[in-house]
Amino acid sequence: MKKILITGGAGFIGSHVVRRFIKNYPDYEIINLDKLTYAGNLLNLTDVSGSRNYKFIKGDITDVEFINELFQLEKPDAVIHLAAESHVDRSISNPMEFVMTNVIGTVSLLNAAKECWKGNYANHRFYHVSTDEVYGTLGETGLFTEATAYDPHSPYSASKASSDHFVRAYHDTYGLDVVISNCSNNYGSCHFPEKLIPLAINNIRNNQPVPVYGKGENVRDWLWVEDHASAIDTIFHQAVSGETYNIGGHNEWKNIDLIRLLCNIMDQKLGRSAGESAALITYVTDRAGHDLRYAIDSTKLQNELGWTPSLQFEEGLSKTVDWYLENEEWLENVTSGHYQDYYRQQYEYNEL
Ligand code: NAD
Ligand code: TYD
């Protein structure tokens, strides 16, 4: 019997990881620790929340006393740490929150794990889920490997880079068993509509302008979220302590090309005439410090641990659009209230 503490399990990726572990490992006890910020949503887990091997705890990873008590009480065998502030645009307007959650929160968990597991580090594991954005930006060519030097540009990526360094420091200094993965952009169901793909789906659905930053030339490497969850499963169970793995889909898209493809898919699904959705595309002021291109070399993960992505992008995007169109209530729920204030502040004044 293994007890696994998953942080941020009510968020986008975390909910897919929680579901996968509940279903694939019925002999594990899964504890989901989440503060339920605007991005955390227990509706993401309604299909599995009644499972015998699942427990939800509401709590803040930056609350050092609470985290220490939780470790002493639950004595988890392992941690899979996903809780974070995750949106670059929010990090530009409120960097301090990112330092608190992503840096202080991670160190608070590492410290509690260090104390709780003292004398027996070999039988415990701290898995830190990170991002390819720590590597900074690529030019027209090249790929991020695990050896690429860190060069973060946004407050979000700087805070994730800092947390990665702390995780490695706890391995090198105290001997904690840690693993880190750095993944490219994810897409799929339960993605909060502040990120490009779900925001665009929601706006197209509502016949609202689809904001494209700058000229739409920036490139991202998109991976289906369930493939990320399967990579996390593989790495959690098979990785050597202290190692880092890049996760990616070999699936680079310029933002504008991706949005055009999405518009075509939505025209078909909504019974609109060709080009109707694309007419909503609106170029807006570029993001400050906008990284030009991310692209992942995941050879190490594929060669050493045998992981490969399962889904082609066009199929994944089509499935994702279906999910949002079938779950309008979920969308209505998360876009009411504070979302409207966020949207107004982020987009009202910057149309080009
Ligand atoms: P998300 O914003 O959807 O979810 C984050 C979750 O963390 C939410 O449920 C939120 O309530 C919780 N949380 C936030 N602050 C907390 C705190 N102080 N205490 C406890 N819980 C807290 O994020 P996501 O997209 O699911 O990303 C999950 C992880 O994966 C993050 O660490 C992110 O950096 C990383 N990542 C994301 C992507 C991506 O494309 N979304 C890609 C690579 C890596
Ligand atoms: P996003 O989904 O925020 O992920 P990240 O910044 O972590 O890569 O953005 C993906 C790309 O889409 C990025 O280049 C910024 C761009 N973008 C837009 O053009 N318009 C938008 O409204 C948003 C949210 C993002």
Q: What is the pLDDT of residues 213-227, one digit of tens each?
A: 999 999 999 999 999
Q: Which atom of ligand 2 is nearest to the CA of 213?
A: 19
Q: Is residue 263 part of a domain?
A: no
Q: What is the rounded CA–CA span in Å between residue 284 and residue 289?
A: 15
Neighbours of 57 (CB within 10 A): 15
List phi, psi (to 5°) of 129: -95, 115
* Among the ranges given (29-33, 227-231, 330-334), the one the predictor scored with the smallest mean pLDDT: 330-334
Chain centroid to CA 261:
23
Task: Please state the rounded mean pLDDT for residues 229-234.
Answer: 98
Q: Which atom of ligand 1 is nearest to the CA of 62?
A: 18
Q: What is the rounded CA–CA span in Å between residue 146 and residue 132?
A: 10
Contact between 25 and 3 (Cβ < 8 Å): no
Whose alpha carbon is nearest atom 20 of ligand 2? 212
pTM of the model: 0.98
Average pLDDT taken over every residue of the chain: 96
Q: What is the rounded CA–CA span in Å between residue 84 and residue 208?
A: 29
Task: Please state the rounded mean pLDDT for residues 260-279.
Answer: 98
Q: Which atom of ligand 1 is nearest to the CA of 87?
A: 2
Whose alpha carbon is nearest atom 5 of ligand 2? 88
pLDDT confidence bin for 110, thresholds 50/70/90: very high
Q: What is the rounded CA–CA span in Å between residue 293 and residue 143?
A: 9
Q: Is residue 197 part of a domain?
A: yes
Q: Is residue 230 part of a domain?
A: yes
Contact between 81 and 127 (Cβ < 8 Å): yes
Ligand closest to CA 228: 1
Task: Please state the rounded mean pLDDT for residues 261-281.
Answer: 98
Residues 6+ apart with CB under 8 A from 69: none
The CATH number given to whatever domain includes residue 174 is 3.40.50.720
Q: What percent of the chain has pLDDT above 90?
A: 94
Domain count, the chain: 1
Q: What is the rounded CA–CA span in Å between residue 231 and residue 304?
A: 12
Give the chain's end-to-end CA distance (angstroms, integer): 57
Q: What is the pLDDT of residue 147?
A: 98
Query: Rounded to the nearest 5 degrees, what angle is found at the Cα of 248, between the Cα atoms of 247 and 251?
Result: 180
Q: What is the rounded CA–CA span in Å between residue 152 and residue 162?
A: 10
Q: Is residue 13 part of a domain?
A: yes
Q: Is residue 308 part of a domain?
A: yes
133 classed as catalytic: yes
Q: Is residue 351 part of a domain?
A: no
Q: What is the rounded CA–CA span in Å between residue 223 and residue 235?
A: 16
The closest of 27, 33, 28, 35 to 4, measured between CA atoms, is 28
Dist. CA 84 → ligand 1 center (Å): 4
Ligand closest to CA 7: 1
Q: Is residue 66 part of a domain?
A: yes
Task: Please state the rounded mean pLDDT for residues 322-339.
Answer: 94
Whose alpha carbon is nearest atom 37 of ligand 1? 131
**131 Cβ closer than 6 Å to some ligand 1 atom:** yes
Which candidate in 121, 127, 135, 156 is catalytic? 156
pLDDT confidence bin for 350, thresholds 50/70/90: low
Neighbours of 274 (CB within 10 A): 10
**49 Cβ closer than 6 Å to some ligand 1 atom:** no
Q: What is the pLDDT of residue 337?
A: 83
Residues 6+ apart with CB under 8 A from 70: 5, 33, 57, 59, 112
**129 Cβ closer than 6 Å to some ligand 1 atom:** yes
Task: Please state the rounded mean pLDDT for residues 32-46.
Answer: 96
Integer CA distances (angstroms), 80 to 16, 30, 179, in order: 13, 10, 10
- Beta bridge partners, 135, equal none
Task: Please state the rounded mean pLDDT for residues 250-264.
Answer: 98
Q: Is residue 352 part of a domain?
A: no
Q: What is the pLDDT of residue 348?
A: 74
* Host domain of residue 8: 3-257+268-273+278-286+293-346
Task: Please state the rounded mean pLDDT for residues 58-71.
Answer: 98
Contact between 44 and 190 (Cβ < 8 Å): yes
pLDDT confidence bin for 352, thresholds 50/70/90: low
pLDDT confidence bin for 273, thresholds 50/70/90: very high
Q: What is the rounded CA–CA span in Å between residue 106 and residue 60?
A: 11
Q: Which atom of ligand 1 is nearest to the CA of 186?
A: 40
**102 Cβ closer than 6 Å to some ligand 1 atom:** no
The closest of 269, 221, 213 to 247, measured between CA atoms, is 221
